[in-house]
Amino acid sequence: MMEQHTASGDFSTPLWETEVLRRQFTQLDARHTDFMMHWRQSLTTLIPAQVQLEAGALEFKTYSQFIADVASPSDIQVFEVEALQSLCAWSLDLRLFPTAVDCMFGGAGRIPVRDLSRRYTPIELGVRRRCLESLATAYEAAWQNSFPIRLHPLRQEQQPASLRMASPQDTVLHARFHLKLNAMALSIDLCMPRRAIEILTAEVPQENATPDASVKHAWGHSLQHNVYAAPVEAVAILGKTQMTVAQLLSLSIGQVIPIELSEPVDLMVDGVTLMKGRYGVRSGQYALKVEDILQNQLSPPAPSAPEASPSGSESLSEIASALSDFSQQVAQDEARP
């Protein structure tokens, strides 16, 4: 069983909030137990060693406290959690993958790893990739029956301060696991924002308690994530000029075309002007600072508007209105008792 912690000495926490914390810890304990079972099986297949995996502390704390508590440097892998619009970070002991490679080549995993800041060898990188794939798959499998999620690798860090996953005072989950490869004891830390945990552990309405309830409960967040992740083309019109057909045909290499720089600059998304701003330079790169957002382009069309073929701005307005209605519906479904 994992250690369950709340803020010590805080007697002002309402009873309903205490009950919510108790339910969240209970669900997390069950899901993390499943995760350890799945990941241990995968590691046993990958690494010829005696693999032991146990749960350590499970706490909610500020993000700044998590940064202070996690080992530095570490091998930190940041994942995007699909359907939650959130990130999570797994901090692994730097000795893990060199030890795994030693076990693969007949060693006992007891070799001292002196230079922890060195680059991984190609073999260690391959072992790292396969172990992280097994970790992500195991954590997904643990939540499959209650809230299907997918972990997509984003980036690797070594210094916890470089993560920048949340504001210093934001609350995050810090879950610690203890891994043993033969005699080598290693620690694994998970960090996930509190808001993501609240979605994962939200109660499914009893009337919807069917075999497919977890999928129905998660589809809204997944669809919303995919819609907002869809790429659009943004174009900034810095300058325009007019010329005749004769002038256009008379152009040759080396000639200069005079243009007038527009102020302000129009920012167009899929052919529709949505914002206005001014151009400049930031960090050595040309940039555009947004100074005005054309709200009328994003607002839904008036009910009394005559029926006609939709223009670009009307189509964008309808999409924005539909997304807003969809987000409200997802929120209402979550809040429904």
Q: What is the pLDDT of residues 183-227, one digit of tens each?
A: 889 999 999 999 999 988 887 555 544 545 545 545 555 555 556
281 shares a domain with 197: no
- Is residue 16 over pLDDT 50? no
Report the chain's mean pLDDT, rounded to a whole number.
78
- The one-letter code for the residue type at 219 is W
10 shares a domain with 83: yes
148 shares a domain with 71: yes
pLDDT at 63: 94
Q: Which residue has the higher pLDDT, 178 or 269?
A: 178
Burial of 245 (0-12, 13-18, 19+ CB in 10 A): exposed
- Whole domain around residue 279: which residue ranges? 234-335
Average pLDDT over residues 160-168: 87
Examine residue 224 and state whether it is found in any structural domain, yes or no: no
Domain at 144, CATH number: 3.40.1550.10
pLDDT in tens, 61-70: 999 999 999 9
Residues 6+ apart with CB under 8 A from 266: 236, 237, 273, 275, 276
The count of domains in the chain is 2
Instruction: For residue 295, name the pLDDT band (cuts at 50, 70, 90).
Output: low
147 token code pair:
């809230």
* Global confidence as pTM: 0.62
132 shares a domain with 51: yes
